[in-house]
Structure formats: structure tokens, C-alpha cells
Structure 1
């Protein structure tokens, strides 16, 4: 397990902007982008939705641990957008903390609901009443993202503003781009 932080890892609830911001951060920082859910789909040979339906959430979380571990062990710096629930397992939180700078993209339930309403993506944990499920997940996960190195409140920020905020903080910390 790497002992030095090298990755920029985005965590937060679904709809917080991890994938959108992550792609933009990667382009701006010249680091490769990794979308953890897409990597799980490649690894498992099926969509996240199908994996949930066929094998259940526990099997998905097991795959998430394996794929996250593999990417965090990479020597080259990456921007990694995790799934909203990747923080549920203590070993994932510990690995993320050791391998990278963890950024919590925080958004109020109302913001998440508004953003998710326009999404065409199938999200297994939002089956049923989306508004009720988002509020329940926010309550259940309260405090679980608090291990992050930085928190960015994204309610009033565009994706571009969020990227600018993170990059400014990142560059101030390193005085330049991280080693790759």
C-alpha cells in the first residue's frame, strides 16, 4: 500500500458532481481520470445496475474494494471519482486517506435531488421515490465523508468553479503540479 499521497480522490453523494468535476480536473491537471463505477463495470463485465440486480449490493461493494485498491496502488497520480458509497467500508476510507488527497464534494439533499432529477443514469440505490431515497441516504451517511482532507460545498458552485477551487488549493499545496 502506498505510504505517500499522490492521487486526487473525489468522494460525495451521488449527484454531487464527482464524475463531471473529476473529468474536468483531470483535463486541467494533466492527470488521467478514473471513474470507479466505470472501472467496476469493466472488471465485472456488466453495468452497476445489473450487478446490483444479479448479485446484490454486497457483491458490488466487494468489487468496489478490489477495483479501488488496484487504482490507488498506481504509481502515477490520477484523479479518481469514487462511487457515493465507496466510503461505507472502513478499509476504503483508510486506503483513500493514505494514497491521496481526498476531496468531499458536499451538497444539500435539495441540490442532489435537483441534479439527479435531470439524470438519465440508472442508480440502483434510488429505486422508488428518489427524493425520499436521497434524504434517507444523506441521513444514513451523515459524518461518513468527514475523513476528507478538504470539503467543497458545491450547492452554489458550477462544476467549473468547483474545479477552480480544488486546483487552486492543490497548486498552493504543491506550488506546482504533482509528480507523475
Structure 2
């Protein structure tokens, strides 16, 4: 199980910067980055939007859970960026920890709205008032994300370089704490 702890699992709301930070970390740490949504799209041969339209959200969530189970069993090191709804399912929370160190990218509703207001690929935001929908979802999810996280990074108005640097420091601190516990 020790080998999995070097893995980094990025969680957070859509538009929080998981993909951007994942790519930055991949470069800095020389680790591959994988996005669970992209892995599911590849596996299914269709987009997330199409999966939601054809089979519904519950089917998609089942695919996420199965993918996390597989990731938790694999031994190679990586950065894993998961969909915004993944931690909401209680079954997924221990699976996320089996995959690696869970990092919550905390973002405000206003920043999410600004980043995604023209994005038509987000099924949960295709509604009359996306900002209200973002606020409602974040109100529910923020506590879940925070409880699930080993590390929390506030991302509003921060560049990915700064976030990557802070995360590397946090990971080193965790590693030092773990070493002291093992002595």
C-alpha cells in the first residue's frame, strides 16, 4: 500500500483547475497525469455529455467508482484528476484515499462561473441560471470535499505555478510527518 501514497489525487468542483494543476505537477514531478473523465470517455467511446444524455448520471457515477477501484489497485505512480462529483458518492471516498494523497482545490462560485460561463460541455450547468446552480452544488459539495481531503488549496486568483509550489511544500511536510510516525 505504501507505493500508492506518492500518487496525488486532485479533487474539487468543475472549473477549480484540476486539469491545469495536474499538467503543471506532471511536468514538475515527472509523473504522468490522468483525468478520470477522459479515461471514461475513452473506455465508453463517447463524451461525458453523451453518457449523461444516453444513460443518465447514475450510470456515469458507477463508471467512476469502477475506475477508482482499478486505479487503487495499480502500482505505478501518477497524478489523478477526478470529476467534480466523484467524492460526493460515499463509496468513492475511501477509494480516493487508496489511490493516493487527496488534494482539494477549493474555489468560489464566482470564479467557477467566470471560468465556465461559455462552456457548453458541462451537463450540470446547462440550465437557466448557472451561477445559482454552481452555488447550490458547491454548498453541498464543499464540506464533502474538505472532509475527504488530506490537503486543501484555495485556488481563487492564484496561478498554477504558485499552487504547484505550495502543494509540493505540503506534500513534503506530510512525508516528514509520516517518516516521524514510522520511527
TM-score by length of 1: 0.89
Q: Secondary structure at the match of 2:144?
A: coil
Alignment gaps of 5+ in structure 2: 177-183
1:16-35 matches, within 5 Å, as: 16-35=16-35
| In structure 2, C-alpha distance between the alignment counterparts of 1:149 and 1:137, rounded to whole Å | 21
Q: CA deviation at 1:68?
A: 1.9
CA deviations over 1:111-136 (Å, ceiling 9, x no partner): 11111125x45001111122121111
| In structure 2, C-alpha distance between the alignment counterparts of 1:99 and 1:46, rounded to whole Å | 25
Structure whose residues are more often helix by fraction: 2
Q: Secondary structure at the match of 2:23?
A: helix
| Alignment pair present for 1:145 and 2:145 | yes
| Alignment pair present for 1:154 and 2:151 | no
| Alignment pair present for 1:83 and 2:46 | no
Asked if structure 1 preserves the Cα contact closer than 8 Å seen for 2:68 and 2:99, the reply is: no
1:25-174 matches, within 5 Å, as: 25-117=25-117, 120=119, 122-128=121-127, 129-146=129-146, 147-174=148-175
TM-score by length of 2: 0.88
Q: CA deviation at 1:67?
A: 1.4
CA RMSD in angstroms comes to 1.6
In the alignment of these two chains, the number of paired residues is 173
| In structure 2, C-alpha distance between the alignment counterparts of 1:69 and 1:121, rounded to whole Å | 30
